[in-house]
Chain A
Amino acid sequence: DAKTTQPTSMDCAEGRAANLPCNHSTISGNEYVYWYRQIHSQGPQYIIHGLKNNETNEMASLIITEDRKSSTLILPHATLRDTAVYYCISTLNFGNEKLTFGTGTRLTIIP
């Protein structure tokens, strides 16, 4: 798996869009970018993943740069329940690859 780099922590005001960056400059052509989050004392929750194109689902949007060396997870209208540690992971998409969790970004939503 390619190494990813994320800021240690971020704050975002409630109701605003939260933009979480991730660098993955050594990502290979067939590796996907996955985002998970972990709310305190719970198991990680899958958010979204993508390969080249931007993706959107009911939880978030994923913007991947054209050179695929970085990406941004966007939570369009952050709520207090979005406070969590967010992990960006690059991996193959066969489903049975082990995931390597880095330190992630601790996102705090401010009321």
Chain B
Amino acid sequence: GAVVSQHPSWVICKSGTSVKIECRSLDFQATTMFWYRQFPKQSLMLMATSNEGSKATYEQGVEKDKFLINHASLTLSTLTVTSAHPEDSSFYICSATPLTGVKTQYFGPGTRLLVL
């Protein structure tokens, strides 16, 4: 139980294009989902907290107009990297907390983005 999936698992795009990453909780509902970013040899850094049906809360230094988050249902959140640039190349990871049961965040497998 408590499985979180992400799609795609990796993506390569040209500079200036937009990329959408999906995060799904497969066997539970989650009102809150989180988006993290991890650069090589560094730890995870929280980008934003996403609540179903409301606007996401972004961490300081994260541009909300560049990283668009949509949390349309209790099982799906999307992160769109708009006008991607090479410095946006990173490992993007989402997590979700179940409505019931153990109160912990379950993480997706991550999406590796490479912007050329």
Residues of A within 8 A of B (CB): 34, 36, 38, 41-46, 49, 87, 93-96, 98-104
- Determine the distance from Cα of A90 to Cα of B5 in the docked complex, in whole angstroms: 25
Residues of chain B having any CB pair with chain A under 8 Å = 2, 4, 6, 31-32, 34, 36, 43-46, 49, 51, 59, 91, 93, 95, 97-98, 103-110, 112
Contact B110 A101 (CB under 8 A): no
Main secondary structure of the interface of B (DSSP, over half): strand
**Interface majority SS (helix, strand, loop, mixed), chain A:** loop
Cα A102 to Cα B94 with chains together (Å)? 17
A42 close to B110 (CB less than 8 A): yes
In the complex, A104 Cα to B41 Cα: how many Å? Answer: 12
Q: A42-B109, A101-B44 are in contact. Are A96 and B104 (CB under 8 A)?
A: no
Interchain residue pairs with CB less than 8 A apart (18): A38-B44, A42-B109, A43-B4, A43-B93, A43-B108, A44-B44, A44-B95, A46-B2, A46-B107, A94-B103, A96-B32, A96-B51, A98-B46, A98-B49, A98-B59, A99-B44, A102-B43, A104-B43
